[in-house]
Each structure stands twice: as C-alpha cells, then as structure tokens.
Amino acid sequence: MLQKCRSFAAAVLILAAVLSAAAYCITPGCPLPVFGQGELQIFWNGGGGLSLTWPEADSCTEYQVSVRSGSRHFEERCTEPYASFSGLTDGERLRVTVRAVSEGVNLFGMERQVRSWKTLKASVPPVEVNALALEAEVEPGNVWLSWNGRQGKRYAICAVEDGISYPVASTRGTALSLRFGGELEYPSSKEPFQVVVREGFTGKGYTLYGPPSNRLSLERSDLLNDHLSLTWEETAPWNYTLLWSEARGDRYELRQWQSGVWKTVFEMDSGPQSISYEIGRVGSGSLQRYRLAAIDREGNELSAEEISFYADVSPVYATVWPVMDLTCYDAPNGVRSQGSIPAGTTLCVLEETGEWFQVRYQDQYVYIDKRFCLINLPEYLGDYCAYDITNSYASAFRIHDRPLTQITGQVLPGFESVQTNTGFLVPCLYPSAVKLLEAAKAAAADGYRLKVYEAFRPQQASEFLYETVSEQLEFPALLEDSDGNAVNPVTGESIDLSTGLPAEPEDEDAGQTDNEPEEETNAPGTQRIPVDPNPPERLEAPEPEEETPAEPAEDASAEPDTNLKIMAGNRRLTLDDFLDSGVSDHNQGIALDLTLEDLDSGAELAMQSAVHDLSWHSEARQNNDLAKRLANYMTAAGLTGNSSEWWHFQDTAVQDAFRSNAVLPREVSAFGLVRDDIGWRCRMNNGDFAKNTLVTVDEIPYTIDEDGYLID
C-alpha cells in the first residue's frame, strides 16, 4: 500500500512538472513566426562590407542575424528583413544564420520569445569575383544596360536605395533592357533611380552577389518622353475619368473648355503616383473637352494634348411633357392603370424600359408611353446640338430682308416661358428626338453641329403667325435704315415693330401744333400706313443680295413691293407654303427648324437665306452645298424635308405610324419636380430651384430644404 502511494505521488509530481513546463512554454496570443518563400541573398559590397536580405516572416517581432567569417563573429538584431556588416575578410568561408522571433507572455505571465521552426542558413565557400564596368543608353521609358561579363554567368541588376541593393532583374547575358511605367516605376522628381549590376552565384539556400559595378544614376526626366497619351474612361453611368501616362516635366496642368475659353481645373506635381482626374457626373450628350500640359520648373510648356468626347445619351433625368392626356400604369406593361396624367404636365424621366418611361406624378411612380412624350432636347442631346429659340426673345421671322410688325424681333405668344435662366426649353417628340441624335452624330463626325431654332410650337403661336402675316401681305414691305430701324417706304416714318405704329419721336412736340388733329390708328394687328396726298420723297430699297430676274429692284417711280410680291417672286408661292393655318407638324412636336454651325468656332454656316425667311429665296431647290449637306444629315436619319424651307424637317414616319392628331395648344413650362443623383428638387418657371420653402406641384404640397431638395 505504501508502495502504491509513493508511485502515485511520483506520478503527480511528474504531471505537475510537465504542466509547469507547458505553462512556461505556452504563450497564448503569440503565433509562431513563419518565413515566406525565398532564400538568403548575400551582397558583397567590397572593402569587407556585406549586405543581407531574406524573405519576410509573418508575426515576427525581430530577426536575429549571425555572420561568421573565419575567426570573426558578428550578430545583429533588426526588425526589417535586411542587415549590413563591415569588417569582414574577403576570401574566407562565410556562415550566415537568420532566425525569426516573436515575443509574448506565457501562462505564468512571464515574457517569452518564440523562434520560428525554420532557420535560414547559408555556408558560402570563398569565391573570387570582380566588380563589373556598367554602361547605359537611356531613352524615354527605357534604359539599355551592358557590362563586361561573360555569357552564361548569372548577373543581377540591382536598384540601390539607402545603400541597400534590391534585385529588379536578372539575366545570363551581358546586356539587359529595363522598361519603366509597369512594375518598375519611374523615379520621382526628387529621388533618381540608382542601379548597379552584380555577378551572381547560387548555393544551397542562398544566392551570392559579387561586388557592385559602378553606380548609374538615372533622373526621372531622362526616362520620360513628351507623349501624355491622354485618354478617358467611363467609370459609372455618366461618370468619367481622365487618364494619362508619365511625361517629361515637373507638373501637370489640366484645363477645360468653358464658354469659349480654357479654364484650369486641376494641377498636380509629376511623379510615379496615380495620374488621373475624376471629371465626375456629366450631363447626357455633353461635350467634354480638355487640354493637358506638362510644365517644367520654369513654367515652360514641354508638351500638351487635347481630348474631346461626348457623354452617353440617355433620357434619364430629362424633362418630358405628355403631348396628350396619357394613361399611366404601375408597371411597364400597360396592364393595370393608375389613372391619367394631363397633357403638358412637367415630368422627369427616372427609367427607360422598352416603350415606357417611369415618372413620378402626385407621389406615385408610374409608367407612361414614351412615344407620346415631348422631351427637352438640351437635357437629352446635350451639346450634340446648339439651341437658339429666337421666338422666345426676338423672333427672326421676316419676308427675306423685310421685317414684319408684331413678329420680327418680338416674343411670340406661347414662347414667353421658353427662355429660362439656365437656357431654352426645346420640346421635341421623343421618337423624333432619337432620329435627330443620329443626324447630329453624323454632323459632329464631319466637324459640324446642328443648331435648332425651333422645335415644338404651341398652336396659339401658329395661329398668331398665320393671322398676323396674312394681314400684312398686301402692305408695302418695310425697309430697314442703316441703324436697323424699320421704315415705312411710303411715308419714310420709322415704325415700331412691336405695334406697327409710327415710332414716337424723342421730342413729343416736335413737328406738331396745337391745331393738328390726332391721326387715326389702324385696328389692332394691322400695319399702320397713313396716306399722305403729298408724300415725301420715297426711300429707295437697298440693293438685293443677288441679282435675279425674279425680283426686280425698286426705284423712286415704282410703287413699293408688297410683302406678298417679295415672298412669291415669280414663283407661285403663297403663305400656306410657309405657315399652316391649321394643325402643323410643329404643333405635334415632330418638326424641327435648324441649320449648321462649325463645331469648333460655333460660327453659323452661310446658307442661301436666313432661317425663317418666308420668301422664295428659301426654297430647297436653291439649296447651296451647305444646305444640301444639312438635308443629307436629316434625311439619312429618317426625317423629311420641306420644298419651300431649306431649314425645316419633319418626322412624317412617326406621324403616319401613330396616326396621332394630339396637339398641345399652350406653351410648356419648366415648373415641376426634377431628379438628380442626390434627390428631388422643384424647378421654377425661370429655371431656378426653390430653396427653403413650401411648394405645391400637381396638387401635392412639398417642403424644400435650404439646399433645394425635397424633404420626403
């Protein structure tokens, strides 16, 4: 029994000793360090100097390095995977040992060190090596290195940083090309790239590199060329980034073409860092034009490149107006109706799916037939077209060079709200706008841009134009003096184009007596031409732009030409050849009045007449080469021309396919809810956005915050 007790006690003591040893050795939370793949790299630096590098170890606190050379022994502790030694003797065997160590606390709370299971070792016999002579030929992006070695031996090309060599390439030849811009980065403008070549020897667990060659120092400017290779990429829908390659210079300057001038938008120092510029989100169809220059320290421009591109075109976030009352649905299938949206309601496109637009109306997200929507061209096509809706500020309608009272230079009824603080509203039926885009792209490819003078025209404007011009057809055509003032050719009086009445003189009493009776005025809407039994000498009309037998010149003895005579010439033209008395293609949003301009300068090209010249000069059979070019762009896109107006094109195919007589009698409005990437905003009639207020849109009240966004 006593023997059993003694045996049990001994076992307990042994177990306690084992557990104590385990508690001493175990270090919780301190993982064992493990070397990565690779071997020791040993660099002789000459003069008894030696450098070592080795694979990095995970979870390592420090490295313990031991070097023995003959009878001399060196030790080093370091935290990075490299070390340097001096005072060694060439021609003796070299023994190197590297251990990875991590530190922790054992179960007794005592500090402990944990060494890696693997130890990097190398035993290097004496090797006789000589320093090499290195030469280089430098060209942009590349350096060609050569040295006085022997084919078949191993050579390492090493970059030198802070006195430490790092192999960047190897070969068994005596020459090598280093290319920059990929894995090998260009040096910074402050730190040159330093390179040496060493002869290499391979042994068990190590590579020995002989003494370095002469060191070459390569400046960044030596390696760069003058090619910026400026390009762009779309990183997200309507989000773009500019990219370029390294080029000679000390900084980059990026400019954007804005309002006819280059404006600096970005500057950065040159160097191996990422060289790009995020443009961010841009508008549909917007023309992006940039110029990048590389600049030296003295401010001289060493190289420059320009780039231009159009953003993708999409109706998303564009303004649309139903051309008639449209049924709306809860899905893009036309199955379950959610009521109807009145014609002319200002809406914002959220999504295009097949034949449907998703919009928000009275806080419902619904789908409507996109084929019966007018879309605002500037928001949809962007810079593919230019826009000058003259009817909204100074109508260009004339009969050749003769102004029309109440029309020329006036705002036409129905166009009062078309010009906003941010541009023009230019509605066009969506299917026709798609064809216009095709024509605009073809023009842009040739260096031109379509310039739109009119698209949708409210019926009230059409009726006013037809009636007002009709009343003046038999009147003597007005002249214009050298100051651009309208003049009655019979009386010589200046005419106020807004009323058709004689312009009031600066001195109201000049030329009048108290006994003079007031002259009668014509009825509203007519041109006032008083009859004088002793008229003053008549003014001669200006010389016509071109001599033609169809339009004889006026003289003092002849009666002044009427507007109708100038309109028709010797053709059988009437007002109906130019204006519709009923529903017109413009009223349906499927017609466009436009011309061409130079894409770079913005200068309008010279056609055979001005846009909206209601005369025989505008007939398509007289088209000059530029007018023919315009017609080719438009007809190739599926639009049809007009025989009496070179500028007019309509989408007859859409009209025939839909067989729609839908007409908006009134003008469209900018007022309504619009969306951007941030949220919803309320746009007012003048194009500005409401801020910090309450608004009611489509009978629904909304609160607008100080930044101009709806608080839903």
DSSP alpha helices (H): ranges in 447-538? 459-472
Contact 597, 606 (CB under 8 A): no
Place of tokens 């070019």: 629
Summarised one tens digit per residue, pLDDT across range 632-672 is 999 999 999 999 999 999 999 887 776 566 778 788 999 99
**DSSP-assigned letter for residue 454:** E
Summarised one tens digit per residue, pLDDT across range 523-572 is 333 343 333 334 333 333 333 344 444 444 445 456 889 999 999 988 88
CATH 2.60.40.420 fits 671-712, yes or no: no
Contact 279, 234 (CB under 8 A): no
Q: What is the reported pLDDT for 97? A: 95
Q: What is the reported pLDDT for 14? A: 59
* Own/partner long-range contacts of 103-110 (Cβ < 8 Å, ≥24 apart): 103/30, 103/61, 104/27, 104/28, 104/29, 104/30, 105/27, 105/28, 105/29, 105/30, 106/23, 106/24, 106/25, 106/26, 106/27, 107/22, 107/23, 107/24, 107/26, 107/28, 108/23, 108/24, 110/24
Residue 478 and residue 569: Cα distance in Å, rounded? 16
Residue 439 and residue 435: Cα distance in Å, rounded? 7
Computed over every residue of the chain, the mean pLDDT equals 86
**DSSP-assigned letter for residue 291:** E
Contact 213, 166 (CB under 8 A): no
Summarised one tens digit per residue, pLDDT across range 296-347 is 889 999 999 999 999 999 999 999 999 999 999 999 998 999 999 999 999 9
Exposed e or buried b for every residue in 408-426, given b needs 16+ CB within 10 A? bbbbbbbbebbbbeeebbb
Summarised one tens digit per residue, pLDDT across range 233-247 is 999 888 999 999 878
Would you mind telling me the total number of residues written for the chain in this entry?
712
169 pLDDT more than 70: yes
Residue ranges matching CATH 3.30.1380 in the chain: 398-412+448-502+525-534+557-658
Average pLDDT on 34-52 reads 87
Q: What is the reported pLDDT for 540? A: 36
CB within 8 Å of 687: residues ≥ 6 apart: 420, 421, 422, 423, 670
Contact 50, 86 (CB under 8 A): yes
Q: What is the reported pLDDT for 518? A: 45
Q: Choose from 219-223, 269-273, 431-435 the range with maximum mean pLDDT.
A: 431-435
| Topology adopted by domain 398-412+448-502+525-534+557-658 | Muramoyl-pentapeptide Carboxypeptidase; domain 2 (3.30.1380)
Q: Quick check: helix, strand or coil at residue 440? A: helix
Average pLDDT on 401-420 reads 95
Average pLDDT on 79-106 reads 84
Q: Quick check: helix, strand or coil at residue 436? A: helix
Tokens of 330: 């809860």
Q: How confident is the model at residue 6 (pLDDT cuts 50, 70, 90)?
A: low
Contact 340, 367 (CB under 8 A): no
For 224-310, CATH gives 2.60.40.10
Quick one: which of 479, 385, 374 has its CA closest to 427?
Answer: 374
Among the ranges given (244-253, 447-456, 675-684), the one the predictor scored with the smallest mean pLDDT = 244-253
Tokens of 150: 């022997």
For 134-222, CATH gives 2.60.40.10
Q: What is the reported pLDDT for 5? A: 56
Tokens of 506: 């600066």
Contact 204, 195 (CB under 8 A): no
Residue ranges matching CATH 2.60.40.10 in the chain: 34-124, 134-222, 224-310
Helix or strand run (H / E) with residue 325: none
Tokens of 626: 């530029």
Average pLDDT on 352-362 reads 97
Q: What is the reported pLDDT for 528? A: 38
Q: Domain 34-124 is of which CATH architecture? A: Sandwich (2.60)
Distances (CA, A) of 352 to 356, 588, 590: 6, 22, 20
Amino acid at 638: G
373 pLDDT more than 70: yes
Give ∠ CA 275-276-279 in degrees, rounded to 5: 165
Greater confidence (178 vs 16) lies with 178
Greater confidence (208 vs 665) lies with 208
Greater confidence (93 vs 29) lies with 93
Q: What is the reported pLDDT for 272? A: 54
Helices 430-445 and 625-636 pack at an angle, to 10 degrees, of 130
Greater confidence (116 vs 370) lies with 370
Task: Please state, as a whole number, how many other Cβ atoms lie within 10 Å of the Cβ of residue 646.
Answer: 27
Q: What is the reported pLDDT for 105? A: 55
